[in-house]
A and B are shown apart, each in its own frame.
Chain A
Amino acid sequence: MEFINKNLPYILAGISLGGQYALISIGYTMVYGILRLINFAHGDIFMFAGFAMVYLAASTPLYVSIPLVIIITVILGFLIERIAYKPLRSAPRMSVMISAIGVSYLLQNLAWYFTSGLAKQYPKIPWISGSITIGSATTPIVTIITPILTVLLVIILVMLIKYTKIGMAMRAVSKDFETSQIMGININSVISFTFIIGSFLAAISSILYFTSYSTVTPVAGAMPGLRAFVAAVFGGIGSIPGAVVGGLIIGMCENITKGLGWTTFSDAFTFALLIIILVAKPTGLFGEKTTEKV
């Protein structure tokens, strides 16, 4: 019991961070499932949402700025797909990935240009910035809200994919790109919709994440993005429950390594986990097996 009391703050923070990673990694896993592309720019979309909030909250009340942030982020994700990925649909996978790296570079440099590279204070959001006491531990409210919100959003998303027409189209496209095209599915709208969902979740995650970290910098999206990608691989790329479980595990691991005083190694540990998974079980926890056809 004493162990739990002592470590409760770390465990709670880990779960909450894991929930935030899970929301980002759904964006990765869905895009990879459909386009077979690691969307390197996804972490920067997340960072962009953070900055949008900083600037919007300075001039508008929160009930306006939060929906605006979400809308702007969704538009950004949609535009990135249309401008940077769509023209390369028939190009080799390497070019699309380079394009994604280019977009990430552009977004980071743009953010640097507009903020002069300074860290910006994230606005306080009254409903989630306060603290709450559970047992002997005092934690910010955001650590309680994140897992609840994550579970809620994931349930909605799974329902969407399972029971709606567009969800069925998404499943078809991720199974077989060409055949689904022949069957009359409008691939472009399905892909756009995937990016819209991914960006929507990234925007929500950024609100939760930056509330607990309090500052935004132009490179703030790079590492959370990579960790979320690791989470997606861990859970099995293309699988939404997998992304959630992966996100929780990565978030917990990060906080445990930090709690043990190994901060320098928290990223290294994440990547070590990735490499072990890739070598031992490349399909991840819930991933489907793919076979190579000659």
Chain B
Amino acid sequence: MNMERNGLNNKSTFLAVSEFIAKNKIGFLLIIVLYSALFILEKMMPPSSMLFVVLKKGAIYALVAVSMNLLNGFTGLFSLGQAGFMLIGSYTYAIFTIPVEDRAAVYQYFDGGIIRFTVPVFIALIMAGVAAGIFAFFIGLPVLRLKSDYLAIATLGFAEIIRAIFQWNKLGPITNGSNLLKKFPSFSSVLFPFTVAGISIALIVLLINSSYGRAFKAIRDDEIAAEAMGINLAKHKLLSFVISSFFAGVGGALLAMYQTTVQASAFKAAMTYEILLIVVIGGVGSITGSVISSFLFIACSEWWLRFLDSETYIGSFKVPLLASGFRKVVFSVVIMVIVLFYNQGIMGTREFSSEGIARFFSRIASRNRKEGA
């Protein structure tokens, strides 16, 4: 009897999944095409190409930006603690994956540290997320009661506190004090960050489309109305905060792998601001917007706008203004223009979807037909 019901349940889940895939056929096809394109690209282009730097870092920032968007854009909690949670993630990952034989060299001032084992990369990535999530839980308990800008400043403060704690010399046997952590496993293929970030973003999308996601949006739109409708504010806010921090932690671990070294002093408030600006450029409340703007932001800052930073001569004519630091000035002006005049960002709250593209093309086609007739 029981087995039968289980079988039935399995069957219905299977049906639901296959139905879901059938409904999003174009989307899945696009994802497969994207990953195979990446695979082929990697075989064809020299690995030192700037393109791969952009793709790797862009994927990582996309994950972190989406995790911040879950909090700021979908739950309406204006938090500025993302850098702190990334720091926890990257340190957790690094601490538990440095090979035992290299520990003496890395922890040279602390007798090789006190942790004498390593865990596989995959488990370390999850641990990174869980560690960030646990911290977020305990930070969230007191802080999430605060209102918009007080919440922002309190989470910013917590990120600074976390940074100070990780640099504390007394914790050196675990965190290596203010020294670098290095020699942990990293990735060389661009597929690795894409897969991890892709799965994480997919999970966030599923969450947003679930009943929890609807509750988050209700809280964002009107807290008091949401509470009146029976949504447990404290529980849902904490849930959103912990999940967002979990993925920020995973993103931090990926960032550590990308950089191959970790140092707490790099995770300043400026990093959070950068991610916040990515979210704003993409559109607060749009997942695909955050992803697109991450790649754009990284491509501009690492590659396309690099020429602004070097003095250039055309013949004997020195191009004015170009000098070290000019790129960031241009950047910040662009950001201010977006904030002031296009406050919807690239996507607003819309999403980029396969159905949307299909609709777009069919609309063009029908218009052409009309014009033809």
Which residues on A are within 8 Å of B, measured CB to CB? 36-38, 83-84, 87-88, 91, 93-95, 97-99, 101-106, 109-110, 112-113, 116-117, 222, 226, 229-230, 233, 264-265, 267-268, 270-272, 274-275, 278-279, 282, 294
Contacts and interface: CB of A to CB of B under 8 A. Distances in A.
B335 A105 contact: yes
Given A109-B328, A229-B153, A282-B146, A271 B340 contact: no
B158 A275 contact: yes
B61 to A, nearest CB: 16
B332 interface: yes
Contact of A94 (B148, B150, B153, B329): B148
Interface stretch (B161-169, B240-248, B251-259): B161-169
A222 B165 CA distance: 20
Given A103-B336, A113-B325, A97 B146 contact: no
Nearest to B325: A113
Given A113-B328, A275-B154, A98 B323 contact: no
Given A106-B333, A117-B325, A264-B167, 5 more contacts: A84-B336, A98-B339, A109-B331, A275-B142, A294-B224
A204 to B, nearest CB: 25
Interface stretch (B38-46, B101-109, B273-281): B273-281
Contacts of A230: 153, 157
B340 A84 contact: yes
A47 B143 CA distance: 30
Contacts of B324: 113, 116-117
Contacts of B332: 102, 105-106, 109-110
Name, among A101, A116, A222, A233, the residue most crowded by chain B CB atoms within 10 Å (CB to CB): A101
B277 A275 contact: no
A106 B326 CA distance: 11
A102 B339 contact: yes
Contacts of A229: 153
A282 B154 CA distance: 11
B207 interface: no
A273 to B, nearest CB: 9
A97 B149 contact: yes
Contacts of A110: 329, 332
Contacts of A84: 336, 339-340
Given A109-B332, A116-B324, A95 B154 contact: no
Contacts of B178: 264
A188 to B, nearest CB: 17
Given A105-B332, A294-B224, A264 B145 contact: no
Given A94-B148, A97-B78, A282-B150, A271 B157 contact: yes
B343 A271 contact: no
Nearest to A113: B325
A99 B339 contact: yes
B152 interface: yes
A226 B152 CA distance: 12
B339 A233 contact: no
A272 B158 CA distance: 8
Contact of A278 (B146, B273, B323): B146
Interface string B306-336: 0000000000000000011110110111011
